[in-house]
């Protein structure tokens, strides 16, 4: 019989992840919290003046945007990165199943874990993943707030 200690298994998984270039549990993705639907011909100066955001911010959160020849479309004006408030270990299950246990949607799960890809095909068994960005506050009776 082959005995594998948890510590060995974890380091084996960590090594495996390093070799495949995966980045393990590092928390929620940065999201756009304010968008602006700019008309064609708008430029970052004119958009920025209306929205109170400077051109370098617009440029850095919308990589690839040509500020002086904007074809029109949605620009992000403000971003935020949620803080993870609860991790759970992935056991032998899919992201959908894990999300189900923690009462979040599968797309929430992907949003909460920026190391998980869109189809969640790179979940690593035995690793922690973020399953909540809710804070505990009076009246929040989520189980993890009862401890």
Applying CB under 6 A, which residues contact ligand NAG? 22, 25, 43, 45-46, 54, 56-57, 68, 84-87, 92, 102-103, 117-119, 121-122, 128, 142-143
Residue 47 CA to residue 77 CA, distance in Å, equals 9
- Give CA–CA dist 64/110, Å, rounded: 24
- Nearer to ligand NAG among residue 25 and residue 76 (C-beta): 25
Check if the beta carbon of residue 122 is closer than 8 Å to that of residue 130: no
Instruction: Name which of 10 and 142 has its Cβ closer to ligand NAG.
Output: 142
- Report, in Å, the least distance between residue 35 CB and ligand NAG: 17
Min dist. Cβ of residue 74 to ligand NAG (A) = 18
DSSP string, the chain: -----HHHHHHHHHHHHHHHT------PPPEEEEEEEEPTT--HHHHHHHHT--HHHHHHHSTT--TTS---EEEEEEEE-PPP-EEEE--SS-HHHHHHHTT--HHHHHHH-TTS-TT-TT--TT-EEEEE-PPP-TT---GGG--
């Amino acid at each position: 019989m082959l005995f594998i200690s948890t510590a060995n298994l974890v380091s084996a998984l960590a090594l495996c992840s390093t070799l495949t270039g995966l980045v393990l549990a590092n928390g929620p993705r940065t999201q756009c919290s304010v968008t602006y639907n700019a008309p064609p011909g708008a430029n970052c100066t004119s958009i920025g003046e209306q929205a109170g955001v400077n051109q370098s911010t617009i440029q850095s959160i919308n990589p690839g945007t040509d500020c002086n020849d904007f074809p029109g479309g949605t620009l992000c004006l403000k971003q935020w990165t949620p803080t993870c408030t609860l991790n759970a270990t992935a056991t032998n299950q899919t992201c959908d199943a894990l999300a189900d246990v923690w009462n979040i949607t599968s797309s929430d799960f992907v949003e909460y874990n920026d190391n998980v890809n869109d189809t969640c095909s790179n979940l690593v068994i035995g690793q922690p993943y973020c399953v909540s960005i809710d804070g505990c506050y009076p009246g929040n009776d989520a189980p993890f707030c009862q401890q």
